Amino acid sequence: MLRRLHLVSSAGPIVTTGDGKQLLNFTSNSYLGLNEHPAMKAAVVAAVNELGTGSGASLLVSGRLPIHAKAERTFARFKHAQAALLLPSGYTANLAALTALAGPGDLICLDKLCHASLIDAARASGAEVRTFPHLTTDKLQRLLQRHNSANASPNISANACGLAGDRRSPSDNARPPRRFIVTDSVFSMDGDTADLPALCDLAQQFDAVMVVDEAHGTGLLGETGSGLCEAQNVLGKVHVTISTASKALGGLGGIITAAQPIIDTIVNHARPLIYTTAIPPAQAAAIDQAVTLIQADPAPRQRVQQLTLRLRNGLKSQGWKLIPQGEFIIPIIPLVVGEAQAAVALAEHLYAHGILAAPIRPPTVSPGSSRVRLSLRADMQDDHIDRVIQAASGFCDGPIQPKH
Ligand SMILES: Cc1ncc(COP(=O)(O)O)c(C=O)c1O
């Protein structure tokens, strides 16, 4: 269970490790390969040449440069939202959003498999935090019903979902308690997707605030690549969306999209925004450029889907039982093997066959569901996929049988 830091030569599809071994990299979340795209590099270099390397201050002081404002406008349009707000990472964006909007007396309901950053954010908010079983709504409905009956309140949707204005504090009885439904759109360790229309219906029914973490959906799903909210046609029903630039966008940074009053509340109350320096201008330029590339060309997201299908079909034909995919093709394929040692053994087996893939163990996943997570990139070759299929099939015949 001991984790160690190790070095790889680059963040591309083929890497060399510290011991000089060349490996196919199935650990990168740069699903579209944008972290190595020439236009991305050019945008970053141009921003550095024009604006230097750092922002120099927090967004609220003097760290907000025209390139930040441009990236926020581009991103808000991409997400069909009124406004967007840049933060240093997806982790801090989740922390900023939930701690600014929720507080003691509020209820945050999370899908059981939500990302750790959402769980940490919910806990840090001081609200009551409850989980509901993955991809289900029965318990969620009961939780919302109970909070609703205990806190008869005016219709909070009337005021930008009641989200403008102060964060609730223990001594504050001025605003009605809020209810939040929080989910990942694409679940990072299982590669499956939320049923956002069902969750949005419940949010509407119980005047709850709908918050969606689109870390793994942004850039991949929907007609224009804006994410699962677009693909499931709920853009107007989700109040707060959090994206990260660290996955398909090939950079770093968190982006919250919401109505302007909600963004204003976050700007005024989110400590992870107020007390940290604005992202460097080059990162903002990368976000702006990535969105432009994603909107201009659907080919990379189609390519990564083809590769994903090739890998899924190949693994299944070798006897692997995969987590069912549902309607959307997600370039995250977990090979669930059970115990932590089995996941480490499978990762080592793949490593010996020239493939870099990460063993995922508790506490990231629940005990008994350890796995090796394969993530795919549009700039991989068919032959890379076939090598994994071959290597993993060898493991099927080994001493540890895969199971789900
Ligand atoms: C679902 C989800 N949300 C948030 C994050 C955090 O994003 P970032 O790496 O930009 O901090 C990640 C990944 O790290 C993630 O998988």
Task: State the SS3 of 268-300.
Answer: HHCHHHHCCECCCHHHHHHHHHHHHHHHHCCHH
Residues 344-363: b if buried by 16+ CB within 10 A, e if exposed: bbbbebbeebebbbbbbbee
Which domains are delineated in the chain? 14-30+298-396 (3.90.1150.10), 38-295 (3.40.640.10)
Close Cβ partners of 214 (under 8 Å, ≥ 6 residues apart): 185, 186, 227, 228, 229, 241, 242, 243
What number does the ligand 1 atom closest to the CA of 253 have?
10
- Other C-beta atoms closer than 10 Å to the C-beta of 62 total 11
Four-point Cα dihedral 232, 321, 183, 250, nearest 10: -80
- The CA 213 to ligand 1 mean position distance, Å, reads 9
- pLDDT string in tens for the chain (404-residue length): 888 888 999 999 999 998 899 999 999 999 999 999 999 999 999 999 999 999 999 999 999 999 999 999 999 999 999 999 999 999 999 999 999 999 999 999 999 999 999 999 999 999 999 999 999 999 999 999 999 888 855 444 434 445 555 555 544 556 899 999 999 999 999 999 999 999 999 999 999 999 999 999 999 999 999 999 999 999 999 999 999 999 999 999 999 999 999 999 999 999 999 999 999 999 999 999 999 999 999 999 999 999 999 999 999 999 999 999 889 999 999 999 999 999 999 999 999 999 999 999 999 999 999 999 999 999 999 999 999 999 999 776 544 444 44
Strand, coil or helix: 75: helix
Is residue 162 within 8 Å of residue 176, measured between CB atoms?
yes
- The CA 382 to ligand 1 mean position distance, Å, reads 28
- Other C-beta atoms closer than 10 Å to the C-beta of 241 total 28
Q: Is 360 a pocket residue for ligand 1 (Cβ < 6 Å)?
A: no
In this structure, the strands spanning 254-258 and 83-87 are antiparallel
Q: Is 26 a pocket residue for ligand 1 (Cβ < 6 Å)?
A: no
What number does the ligand 1 atom closest to the CA of 245 have?
10
Cis amide prior to 363 (ω within 30 degrees)? yes
* Rg over CA atoms, the chain: 21
Paired tokens of 254? 């968190």
Edge to edge, what strands does the sheet with 370-375 contain?
332-338, 370-375, 358-360
- The CA 113 to ligand 1 mean position distance, Å, reads 13
